[in-house]
Amino acid sequence: MINFLPTLKHSTQPARNRRAVALCVDSAYLPYASFVASQILEKETTRDFDIVICLPDTDKIPASTREDIRYCTVDFSVIDGLPVGRLSSATYHKIFLPALFKDEYEQILYLDADVYVSAPCISQILDSNQEGKGLMMAIDISEIERKSGFNFHNAYLNRYIALKHQYRNAGVILFNTKRLLEIGYLEKMMAYARKNRQKLLRHDQTLINTVLYDEIGSLSFLYNYQLIDTTIPLSAEFQPKIFHFVGELKPWNTEHGFIGSFHTEYERYIGQHFPAHQITSKTEFELKYESRKKKRKYKNVIRERMSLGVFVGKEKLKHVLSFFDEKSPDNVMNSPKIRQIVSRFRSTIDTSIYECEMGASRV
């Protein structure tokens, strides 16, 4: 018997379909989740799935967003003991969706609130799980870095290499409700979490990749295109269906650059539907610097100060070289070394997408 299942206390409307897209947020991220839902409503004109947003309190939902979105009040207090670091406990909420909605939805496509749906693709994703797997997830950007010949995350990824598992990102997940309940997925995950809190370095993502690694099918990177400095220049080439704003740069807090180009759209939507919600935008450098200061690398004050100085120098140099300005004669992309790095990323992403397409064609 599951004694750690959150409670569904209230719903603004009943389930209408057997499939759903779901987002789980706290009140701070509600405007961004509602924005994602509005994108899906606009782009997916013919829908055979519900759009569900789960949150602790539905009292502050604006009437203008209620009609086609199912808002559910869920009491997640039973999981308050899980480690969250600088994150909200909402990062774990997604793993309970199949158990919470087991009597209503056969499939649930979970989306993080910091994604941008650039083209119709939801029905296509929901139709893609023909393998009978419990979940489908895309490769994580740290795995792409490793496969491209970099060692940024190998210490963390080694445990998954030993399992012969390709590490996945938890920002977009297709859940197969029946399969997950058959294997008692939640009991396994909670048992591991209780005994290994110190090992949950990346929270829910670590939990899923560790406990359910043999139940994860491959989802195309195009459905969870994680944006970093090295993948942004390739976005026009790959034409992703869903962008994922990983890291500290979000479209609602960034003024310039590729990510900042989405800011006006967010500002307009939030201003119309959540006028009391203030969004403050900063430069990429300011956001990265603030994030770096929070992630202290060294206990020694002098060494930490020197490390911050190096970070500032690199960011200023990157700005001077106008990374995203193709017309600049000093464009960093003119560097053979940078071109080689981007080429490696292109090849790794290409391979990942091809493997997903071939896997689908074999079914």
Query: What φ, ψ does residue 359 adopt, rounded to 5°?
Result: -60, -40
CA 41 vs. chain centroid, Å, equals 20
Helix (H, G, I), strand (E, B) or coil at 169: strand
* Class in CATH terms, 7-226: alpha beta
pTM summary value: 0.85
Do 224 and 169 meet the contact criterion of CB atoms below 8 Å apart?
Answer: yes
Give whole-number Cα distances, 285 to 31, 289, 312, 334, in Å. 25, 6, 8, 22
Dihedral sign for Cα 352, 355, 361, 363, please: negative
What type of residue sits at position 185? Y
- Of 183, 184, 84, 175, nearest in space to 125 by CA: 175
The first and second tokens of residue 114, run together, are 């910091």
Q: Where are the domains of the chain?
A: 7-226, 247-330
How would you write the pLDDT of the chain (363 residues) with one tens digit per residue?
455 678 888 899 999 999 999 999 988 899 999 999 999 999 998 999 999 999 988 777 877 766 789 999 988 777 666 655 555 567 788 999 999 999 999 999 999 999 999 999 999 999 987 668 999 999 999 999 888 887 655 777 877 877 788 899 999 999 999 999 999 999 998 888 888 877 777 789 989 999 999 999 999 999 999 999 889 989 999 999 999 999 888 999 888 889 999 999 999 999 999 998 888 777 666 666 666 666 666 677 777 677 666 656 666 555 544 444 555 444 555 567 677 778 888 899 998 888 887 666 554
DSSP letters of 103-152? TT-SEEEEE-TTEEE-SS-HHHHHT---S--SEEEEEPHHHHHHHTT--T
* End-to-end C-alpha distance for the chain, whole angstroms: 35
What sections of the chain are H helices per DSSP?
30-43, 97-100, 122-126, 141-147, 154-162, 177-182, 185-195, 204-211, 235-238, 257-260, 263-273, 284-294, 301-320, 336-362
